[in-house]
Amino acid sequence: MREYELQKNTGFKKWWQMLRPHTLSASFVPVALGTALVFPVKSPSPSLFIAMMTASMLIQIATNLFNEYFDYKRGLDDTESVGIGGSIVRDGIHPKTVLHLAFSLCFAAMLIGVYICVNSSWWIALAGSICMLTGYLYSGGPYPIAYTPFGELISGLFMGVFIIWISFFIQTGMLTVNCILISIPIGILVGGINMANNIRDLSRDQAKGRHTLPILLGQPRAITMLAFLFTFSYIWIIGLMLLRVESAWLLLVFASLPKAIQATKLFRNKTKAIQMMPAMKATAQMQTLFGILLSIGLLIDHFF
């Protein structure tokens, strides 16, 4: 028996796994943080918060499904694909079912977007359309973003920074310097989730002709870069405190530091993709903890 073995998912589990649930914090956290930033300005609308949260998660799930479908069509996934990718070849889900579901989720997000626009600004329709198009082009189209060194940058901007800005804007009708500055570390950490995924898949991606950032850097330097992204995020928060942009309550984020250290250590000296799954999971958990703690710090500063 192999030390590490891939198992076929069945029933509900295969559908749940295909949605890549561990990545959904990349959409949940920015919406929560963007809404937490609203409190010093006004009391946020619960309905707009729920609508934005739902639409963001639907778009991210659709992006995951597009990625699943196009990885299959381009021959990137096979029965040995590690992690939650490869559901089509490993779990027997029909490719067209995956594609149709992705488009259906985008349509549902558009309907929710209409509600958001009616209650805020129609400029959100443009922003939402760009986000959905980017989600499709990440793995679809003639020049997929996922096959370039820019995947981390694009995911960080669109699933991190921009979601925070939109979540704040729909509640207040404006953007503030605080909102822009606080969005930076979350965008970096969302990009970090993407980098962790690409580090895990480095060997397979290289064999399939992809040119991701970890492929260009090489695995050791890519892991060092991921550690740098973690470090920079914490330093950024210290800078905001020292410059009195925000209060010392933001230092709560340092409670997530052990998870950042764990994620980096779990990547070290690993050669097989399946061995790096715990490191990828820890990276997503670190981003979640960092974002939640940052939101809590903002709320404590406001209310107390």
pLDDT digits (tens, 9 = 90+) for 130-187: 999 999 999 998 889 999 999 999 999 998 999 999 999 999 999 999 999 999 999 9
Instruction: Say whether pTM exceeds 0.85.
Output: yes
Both tokens of 187, joined, read 């965008």
pLDDT digits (tens, 9 = 90+) for 163-178: 999 999 999 999 999 9
> How is domain 11-299 classified at the architecture level of CATH?
Orthogonal Bundle (1.10)
237 in Cβ contact with 251 (< 8 Å)? yes
Amino acid occupying residue 166: I
pLDDT digits (tens, 9 = 90+) for 253-294: 999 999 999 999 999 988 888 889 899 889 999 999 999 999
Both tokens of 144, joined, read 């997929």
- Structural domain spans, the chain: 11-299
Q: How many other CB atoms sit within 10 Å of the CB of residue 5?
A: 7
Q: Which helix (H) or strand (E) holds 297?
A: helix 277-303
Residue 97 pLDDT > 60, yes or no?
Answer: yes
> Angle at the Cα of 33 (from 59 to 223), degrees rounded to 5?
75
pLDDT digits (tens, 9 = 90+) for 187-197: 999 999 999 99
pLDDT digits (tens, 9 = 90+) for 197-218: 999 989 888 888 889 999 999 9
Q: What is the pLDDT of residue 81?
A: 55
Q: What is the pLDDT of residue 132?
A: 92
Cα separation of 288 and 103, whole Å?
A: 27
Q: Is 12 buried (19+), middle (13-18) or exposed (0-12) by CB count in 10 A? A: exposed
Q: What is the pLDDT of residue 2?
A: 41
